[in-house]
A and B are shown apart, each in its own frame.
Chain A
């Protein structure tokens, strides 16, 4: 019996991907901390949805994950962040990039080469991977994201949605265990946004841990197993999306529930807590 308990204890330890312990961070030149006393645990296989108003600290939180804070951004940091057991202060952003891939909001500012396949190769070239391996990985990620047809296209001619998919591909090529995305769909139309959400779901099912900061709760909450709400640099709510989105307190933090939630209140089926139209339909039929 004891052996099994120890085994589970070890498993729990192994599955912990990221631990943020009491982090407070103030950007240089700013008087107010961007994050204050943040504690968060992300486990392997999680799909974490981070929401909250603009300026609530979402981007800062994501920059902690791959060491951009404190290595790239100067400021005052308290507490620590462990990625796979390694303190981010002691590892370089380059070595962390093999564990955590970060995708930014504006795809135009993160694509650095002129052709899609070269873009995907770029990070691998920097890390000194042999050519054969790079080619293999390019083919792998293009297939994974269903964008094989874009392989030789000039990056300047892609649409916004395609650019964002290429940005995701170039990060995935480094085979990170975690992919973190900062408002990846904020500048995309509904069709491209849905495509990104769908791809993230597929990646998550394949075992990649996904962290996504987003306002579009309709789109992402059905896929997430965990959700946090941020306000003024604090994590103010934490739980499953189903639990949180039906909490009235959400409104205080400026977060508006998605329309399915509004509709389920309207039709009086809120106790079933549906998150998708399908679930709402089932709830209505069961009434």
Chain B
């Protein structure tokens, strides 16, 4: 079943306010990057467990347990395949588990970041990272219009279904052909929306001045400093574990 509503899932993810969501977006992004890097610096199971444990405070701060369990449940199939494939290729169960833990750690890091970050903040973050406004704005526009277009798609599909049309009939080629009554209205409506959007942007003086100001201001609070230090500490600790401790646990070194 074609389901444009599921496309919306990612945007619904930004939930309620939490201690984490109030952090500066740069801090949140930094923490996210730290917890993506840590699992990658070494395949050792020890570092994977370390990375998972160190994310616990963030999970608590962001109230993201629901989202995490949902993300993990959604990727169960993938995780099982990964274990089996790894085991079949290496015949090393610890390595396979370690790979899975690495994946889980990264899923958790993304889930925390997505639950605790307003999509608009991601746009601001992009411009903070010195990405040109035109590009970060395209990102925001995409986020703004994906739900609108998803709505259009749903209306088109239900309109045609109400005319007795069965989209999911026949083999692969047949199905592709059957998409035409859905695709044509969709394209025409998207073009029309794009045109009206351009008109609206023109009246709002979009792109006229190089000296664009920014209304949003993000403060750097004490908690931000603490969290950044926490991230740095973990990064250093992770590197230390990789370079020193792995020799103490030779069995776990892979």
Within 8 Å by CB, do A and B touch in the complex?
A: yes
Given A113-B140, A114-B144, A115-B120, does the pair A72, B202 have CB atoms closer than 8 Å? yes
Chain B residues in contact with chain A, CB under 8 A?
11, 118-120, 123, 140-141, 143-144, 147-148, 193, 196-209, 211-217
Chain A residues lying within 8 Å of B209, measured Cβ to Cβ, are 94, 126-128
Contacts of A204 in B (CB 8 A): none
A131–B213 touching, CB < 8 Å: yes
Contact assessment for A94 and B208 in the assembled complex, using a CB-CB cutoff below 8 Å:
yes
Given contacts A92-B208, A112-B141, A113-B120, contact A104 B213 (CB under 8 A): no
In Å, the complex CA distance between A174 and B144 comes to 22
Is residue A102 contacting chain B, with contact meaning CB distance below 8 A?
yes
Given A110-B196, A112-B204, verify A124-B141 contact (CB < 8 Å).
no
Would you give the 0/1 interface string for A82-122, flagging 1 where the beta carbon is closer than 8 Å to chain B?
A: 00000000001110010001101010111111110110011
Shortest Cβ distance from B11 into A: residue: A156
Would you give 6 A-B contacts (Cβ < 8 Å), ordered by A? A72-B202, A101-B203, A104-B196, A110-B200, A127-B205, A156-B11
How many residues belonging to A are interface residues under a CB distance threshold of 8 Å?
41
Residue in B193, B207, B214 whose CB lies within 8 Å of A109: B193
Judged by DSSP, the binding face of B is helix
B197, A110: Cβ atoms closer than 8 Å: yes
Q: Are B203 and A93 in contact (CB under 8 A)?
A: yes
Q: Chain A: residues with CB nearer than 8 A to chain B?
A: 66, 68, 71-72, 92-94, 97, 101-102, 104, 106, 108-115, 117-118, 121-131, 134-135, 138, 155-156, 170-171, 174
Residues of B near A134 (CB, < 8 A) are 213, 215
List A contacts of B206 (CB < 8 A).
126
Q: Chain B contacts of A156 at CB under 8 A?
A: 11, 144, 147-148
**In the bound complex, do residue B140 and residue A114 qualify as a contact, i.e. CB atoms below 8 Å apart?**
yes
Is the CB–CB distance between A125 and B212 below 8 Å? Answer: yes
Please determine whether A170 and B204 come into contact, CB atoms closer than 8 angstroms.
Answer: yes
A156 — nearest CB in chain B belongs to which residue? B147
B119 partner, pick from A72, A114, A122, A127, beta carbons under 8 A: A114
- Bound complex: CA of A101 vs CA of B143, how far in Å? 26
Task: Given contacts A106-B196, A115-B118, A156-B11, list 10 more A-B pairs with CB under 8 A.
Answer: A72-B198, A94-B209, A110-B197, A112-B141, A112-B201, A112-B204, A114-B120, A124-B215, A127-B209, A131-B213
